[in-house]
Chains A and B, each alone.
Chain A
C-alpha cells in the first residue's frame, strides 16, 4: 500500500510542532509524562550484569533528590536477550517492564530460524516486550511478502509479550518507504490475530544507524497509526528511538503526538521514548521548574 508523501511539507509540519511554547504547569506535566515514557536502554557489546543492575536501579528511581509527590519510574528497561534474566530479577515487583531486543538486533542479517529462536529465548527469560527489526534488505528489494511474513511469525513467537517493530528508518531513507513499511508492519502483525491497544508498536530505529528518530519520520509513522485507528478502532503504539537527547525535544514529540493522534496516546501504554541520556535532561528540567535554577551534570547519577 504505497501512498505518496511530500517530504518538504512533512518537514514543515514537523517543524511547526517545535514552535509550540510549553510553559509552567503544562511544562511540568509534560516532563513527568516524558519521564514515565522512557525505555531506559543499554545495548552495547560490553554490557554486563552489573551495568544492567545499575540501569535498573536508575529506571525505578530516576532521581536521587526526594520529590513530593515522588517522580514516576520510567516505563521499561531495554537490553539484549542475554541480560533479560538479570533485568527481570532487578525489576521484580517494581512495575517497570523488561523489553528485549531480538531477531538478530541490530542488523537482522541472520537466518530466520536464528532470529525466531532469539525471540523465543528472550521471552522464556522473562521479557515483557520484544523489540524486533524488520528485514530491510528484503523490503528495499521489493520482497514485501517476505517482510510481512517474518513479522507475523515473530508476533506468534512473542506469545503474550508485546511486540515493537523497528523499521530502521535511517536505512529506509525516504518518507514514502517509512509510510509503506509502517502500513506493512501494522497489517502483518494484525494478520495473526486481534491487537489490544498498545500490544503492538512501530518503532523508528535501532539507534545504531544515523539518522535515528527524527520529527518528520515520526510524524509519518503517527499518521499511519492514525489512519489505521480510523479504519479499525485499534490503537497501535509508537516509539521513536535514538537521537532524542533533550527534554525540549521530548516535549516537541509529545506536542506532535497530541496534535496528530490526540491525548489518548499520551500514555506509556501507547508511546515510548527509546533513550538513555534523555533521562537526566528531563530531571534537570523538572528541578528547574521546582527550584528555579539549573542543576549541574553531576547532580544526577549516570544510568
Chain B
C-alpha cells in the first residue's frame, strides 16, 4: 500500500514567522501534469502593510549591526540554501518548464549570488563612499547609509535566482525588505522563508509574499513607509503605476534590465552600482584645528 504524503502548506513569511494571508484567499499552482501542486497564499494589501510594519520595526537593528555580522548572516543563508539544494531544485521544476539540470544550475547560482552579496556588507562603503578633499580646514567624508524598507518585485523567471539577485543588493546594505515573489511559481519564494528562519536573519528583515504581483503594485508604490523599490523588468503600464505612485514620498525606484542568461552574470548582478540606488550618500563635515 502506498503511503499518503503529507503535503506542505505554503504560507507567507512576515515578521519572522509563517502566517496565512489575512484575506483567506489562495491561488492554485498547477504542475506539469496539470494537477494542482499547491495552493499559495494570495497576499492582500493588508498583508503587505503588515510586512512593511515588520520591516520598519526591524530596520533599526538590521542597519545598526556591524557589516561583518550582516555578512555572516547572509553567508549562513547561503549555507542553509546549499543544504536544501535538492528541495529547491524540485520546487523550481514544479511548473514544469525547467529541466532538472537547469534547476540545479539555478540553485547553485543562487547560493553563489548570496555569497557574493555576503562579501559586500562591510566593503561597499569603501567603494561607494570616500574622503573628499575640500578646499579648507575641514575633514569631509561621504558615507553610504541604508535607507529603510525596500520593496523587491521578483521576476517570473528565474523564480529563485531572480528573487535573490534583486533581494541581495538592498539587503546587504542594511535595508529591510518586502518581497513580492513570482506569480507562476511562488513555491521557491515560500520555501525561502524557511531558509530565512534558520539562518539567523532577524525577524522582519526579509518578508516574503506570494499571490498576484499586479494586485499589489499600487500599494507598493504608494505606501509612504517604503523608501525604495527594486523591480524586475516590467511592462510600461506597470512601470508607470510604480513611478507615478512613488512620487508622493519620493521613493528611489529601479528596474532591473535582465533577461535570460543575464541573471547568471554574477558580476553584473552583484555590482556595487546595484546597491548604490538603495543607500543614501551622507556627507559629513568637521573643522580640523587645535
Chain A residues with a Cβ under 8 A of chain B: 6-9, 11, 173-174
Contacts and interface: CB of A to CB of B under 8 A. Distances in A.
Contacts of A8: 137-138, 287-289
Interface string B264-290: 000000000000000000000001111
A191 B273 CA distance: 67
Contacts of A6: 287, 289
Contacts of A174: 290
Nearest to B287: A8
B138 A7 contact: no
Contacts of B138: 8
A8 B286 CA distance: 10
A173 B289 contact: no
Nearest to B289: A7
Interface of B: 137-138, 287-290
A6 B288 CA distance: 9
Contacts of A173: 290
Q: Report, nearest first, the 4 A-B pairs whose CB atoms are least far apart.
A: A8-B287, A7-B289, A8-B289, A8-B137
B287 A9 contact: yes
A7 B289 CA distance: 6
A9 B288 CA distance: 10
B286 to A, nearest CB: 9
Nearest to B286: A8
Among B137, B138, B288, B289, the one with the most A-chain Cβ atoms within 10 Å of its Cβ is B289
Given A7-B289, A8-B287, A8-B289, 12 more contacts: A6-B287, A6-B289, A7-B287, A7-B290, A8-B137, A8-B138, A8-B288, A9-B287, A11-B137, A11-B289, A173-B290, A174-B290
Contacts of A11: 137, 289
Nearest to B136: A8
5 contacts: A7-B287, A8-B137, A8-B287, A8-B289, A9-B287
B166 to A, nearest CB: 45
A226 B50 CA distance: 59
B136 to A, nearest CB: 8
Contacts of B288: 8
A303 B138 CA distance: 43
A157 B137 CA distance: 45
A7 B288 CA distance: 8
A8 B137 CA distance: 7
Contacts of B290: 7, 173-174
